[in-house]
Chain A
Amino acid sequence: MGLSHCRVRGLLMLRLQKLTKTYKTGDQALKAIDLEVPKGQVLALIGPSGAGKSTMIRCINRLVEPTSGAVILENTDLTKLGPGALRRARREMGMIFQEYALVERLTVMENVLSGRLGYVGFWRSFLRRYPQADVDEAFRLLDRVGLLHMADKRADELSGGQRQRVGICRALIQNPKLLLVDEPTASLDPKTSRQIMRLITELCRERGLAAIINIHDVALAQMFVPRIVGLRFGEIVFDGVPAALTAEKLTEIYGEEDWEATIEAVEDDEEVEAAQ
């Protein structure tokens, strides 16, 4: 599937056109990125630190303001939106963070419900009087990720994997069309990393969500994601299926290194996964 799939159907979720970000320091984080993400496609963004992965994700929902270019979500150019319209557009994009970014001193339930802030007025949210439908959905999502019994715990009492599950619930309760995922496994151990990646990709499939997942673990990306985009110095240097990611391609993305072990490890992992 992947690219060909989208061309046939012609259903685009997101299109980046000449997306450029130059920081005040003069660093060019993104150099005229063109990228198309079809509906329902999960895509992994790999590349070395400083390649612009985080910047790219943050330019899409404008947590970082792009310098030039267009970010087209379905039919809307997000870069042209005023503050109110931007907030409404952000509701369509769920975001999952590297260090979970939960509000540590609030409960799990409050954290999940905070995903509905874009739909609820200030006083209702301030007094925690969310519509019953939102509360029901929050319980459903917590049950889906296996954290129903934790609903009343404070976020800082949870383990890393549990926190990331809460982060996933917060993103999904927005009922988004697109997930922006920034290094979801960077602070997790290998086993939890796989569980989280599996959960994210499963949930995307269940809900027909498109997703862009920043990830520095190449093996993990190859294991779970059908399309991989390689970023280097703010430019796309690879775009294809995991199997096309050869040692030469990895060298092109990350620079000179012995990649054979990585590729072999991936194959081993796939066997293990298949056996389970």
Chain B
Amino acid sequence: MPVLEKDGAQIWRRHTLREKLVRWFGWLLGLLVFAICWQIISQSTTWFFVWDAPRIANDIWTRATPPRWEYITQLGRPIWDTLNIATLGTIIALFLAVPVAFLAARNTTPSALFIRPVALLIIVSTRSINSLIWALLLIAIIGPGVFAGVIAIAIRSIGFCAKLLYEAIEEIDHAQVEAITATGASRWQVMAYGIVPQIMPAFAGVAVFRWDINIRESTVLGLVGAGGIGLQLSSSLNVLAWPQVSLILLVILAAVVLSEWVSAKVRGAII
């Protein structure tokens, strides 16, 4: 009872006495847990490395600057590969995602009982595994190289694209579909006239968004041997060629900034 009476005046407090006590003990308990955890972590930390970290970081920084600019001549091809992996992977993913999305959307699936669960399974399973792991698997199956990277990116993107697309399909205005059906149009015509125009903005948005993500993902695929600039990054790291590493990071940064700019432009043009 936060409202008390004292000397005839009504006093209001935020909490009752009981609530205050509970809160006080809550804070006490929290502090105790924090202190104990701190103790345990501190015991299992090699403090020498922590104290040494700024010095090492500074050491790497001085080794990595200035970047080895002339190395750029060897990066053109790998960054081009990386862009191609992202672009081709996205295109393949979209081709596969569109039918999956139509099979998964409640209002377009031919069978909600049998086909829809299969489509949803495809979406969940491709989405749940990281592209780096897909790349590792695919390298084992089809050998190292750009092709494995493209397929890894494609598989990883199917679920993402299909999920966003089928949500867009489920949100369409049903009246437009009814109107096209009422003209005597066939099933495919209803799709082409009643549904596709309505999901085009979503489709374009998903495509550039995923392409943008895939450029970032494809830069690391080389670390496991699936082609692209990651290959140069891992070999430079292995030989501790820090000026090359810094240059590669700069090139990746430039590529990502470029892709952000392109996708922002495309999205602006569509909507």
Q: Mark A82-107, 1 if CB is under 8 A from B, else 0.
A: 00000111110111011101111110
With A105-B200, A122-B188 as contacts: A93 and B182 at CB distance below 8 Å: yes
The complex places the Cα of A136 from the Cα of B95 at a distance, in Å, of: 37
The complex places the Cα of A63 from the Cα of B182 at a distance, in Å, of: 7
A63 adjacent to B194 (CB under 8 Å):
no
The residue of chain B having its C-beta at the shortest distance from the C-beta of A110 within the complex is B193
B64-91 contacts to A (CB < 8 Å): none
Contact of A117 among B176, B184, B200 (CB under 8 A): B184
B150-198 contacts to A (CB < 8 Å): 173, 175-176, 178-186, 188-189, 192-194, 197-198
A153-192 contacts to B (CB < 8 Å): 167, 170, 174, 180
A48-68 contacts to B (CB < 8 Å): 61, 63
**Residue A115, interface by CB 8 Å:** yes
A174 adjacent to B184 (CB under 8 Å):
yes
The residue of chain A having its C-beta at the shortest distance from the C-beta of B195 within the complex is A103
With A103-B194, A106-B197, A125-B193 as contacts: A95 and B188 at CB distance below 8 Å: no
The complex places the Cα of A93 from the Cα of B194 at a distance, in Å, of: 18
With A117-B189, A117-B193 as contacts: A105 and B182 at CB distance below 8 Å: no
Sorting the interface of chain A by its residue count into under 10, 10 to 19, 20 to 34 or 35 or more gives 20 to 34
A114 adjacent to B180 (CB under 8 Å):
yes
B194-248 contacts to A (CB < 8 Å): 194, 197-198, 200-201
A91 adjacent to B200 (CB under 8 Å):
no
A170 adjacent to B179 (CB under 8 Å):
yes
**Residue A242, interface by CB 8 Å:** no
A122 adjacent to B192 (CB under 8 Å):
yes
Contact of A170 among B183, B188, B197 (CB under 8 A): B183
A221 to chain B, nearest CB (A): 22
With A117-B193, A125-B193, A126-B192 as contacts: A102 and B179 at CB distance below 8 Å: yes
Cβ contacts under 8 Å, B186 to chain A: 87, 117, 122
Cβ contacts under 8 Å, B182 to chain A: 61, 63, 90, 93-95, 180
**Residue A118, interface by CB 8 Å:** yes
The complex places the Cα of A106 from the Cα of B182 at a distance, in Å, of: 17
Cβ contacts under 8 Å, B201 to chain A: 105
| Interface residues on chain B, number (Cβ under 8 Å) | 21
B177 to chain A, nearest CB (A): 9
Could you say which of B185, B198, B200 has the most chain A C-beta atoms within 10 Å of its C-beta? B185
How many contacts A-B (CB < 8 Å)?
Answer: 82
A91 adjacent to B176 (CB under 8 Å):
no
With A117-B189, A118-B185 as contacts: A105 and B180 at CB distance below 8 Å: no
A103 adjacent to B197 (CB under 8 Å):
yes
B183 adjacent to A114 (CB under 8 Å):
yes
With A117-B193, A125-B193 as contacts: A101 and B183 at CB distance below 8 Å: no
The complex places the Cα of A177 from the Cα of B68 at a distance, in Å, of: 79
Cβ contacts under 8 Å, A63 to chain B: 178, 181-182
A90 adjacent to B178 (CB under 8 Å):
no
Cβ contacts under 8 Å, A94 to chain B: 182
A96-148 contacts to B (CB < 8 Å): 97-99, 101-106, 114-119, 122, 125-126
B189 adjacent to A125 (CB under 8 Å):
yes
Contact of A90 among B183, B192, B193, B194 (CB under 8 A): B183
A170 to chain B, nearest CB (A): 7
Contact of A114 among B173, B178, B188, B193 (CB under 8 A): B193
The complex places the Cα of A47 from the Cα of B218 at a distance, in Å, of: 62
A140 to chain B, nearest CB (A): 18
A250 to chain B, nearest CB (A): 30
Contact of B184 among A90, A97, A98 (CB under 8 A): A90
The complex places the Cα of A180 from the Cα of B176 at a distance, in Å, of: 16
A88 adjacent to B183 (CB under 8 Å):
no
Could you say which of B182, B188, B201 has the most chain A C-beta atoms within 10 Å of its C-beta? B182
B189 adjacent to A122 (CB under 8 Å):
yes
The complex places the Cα of A166 from the Cα of B217 at a distance, in Å, of: 47
A87 adjacent to B178 (CB under 8 Å):
no
The residue of chain A having its C-beta at the shortest distance from the C-beta of B181 within the complex is A63
The residue of chain B having its C-beta at the shortest distance from the C-beta of A180 within the complex is B182
With A117-B184, A118-B183 as contacts: A125 and B194 at CB distance below 8 Å: no
Other A-B pairs, 20, CB within 8 Å; known A101-B175, A105-B198: A88-B184, A91-B184, A97-B175, A97-B178, A98-B175, A101-B173, A102-B176, A103-B176, A103-B180, A103-B198, A104-B173, A104-B198, A105-B201, A106-B193, A117-B186, A122-B189, A125-B192, A126-B189, A174-B183, A174-B184
10 A-B pairs in the complex with CB atoms less than 8 angstroms apart:
A87-B185, A98-B175, A99-B175, A101-B173, A103-B179, A106-B193, A106-B197, A122-B186, A125-B193, A170-B179
The list of the 5 closest CB pairs from A to B, nearest first, reads A118-B184, A117-B185, A90-B184, A101-B179, A91-B184
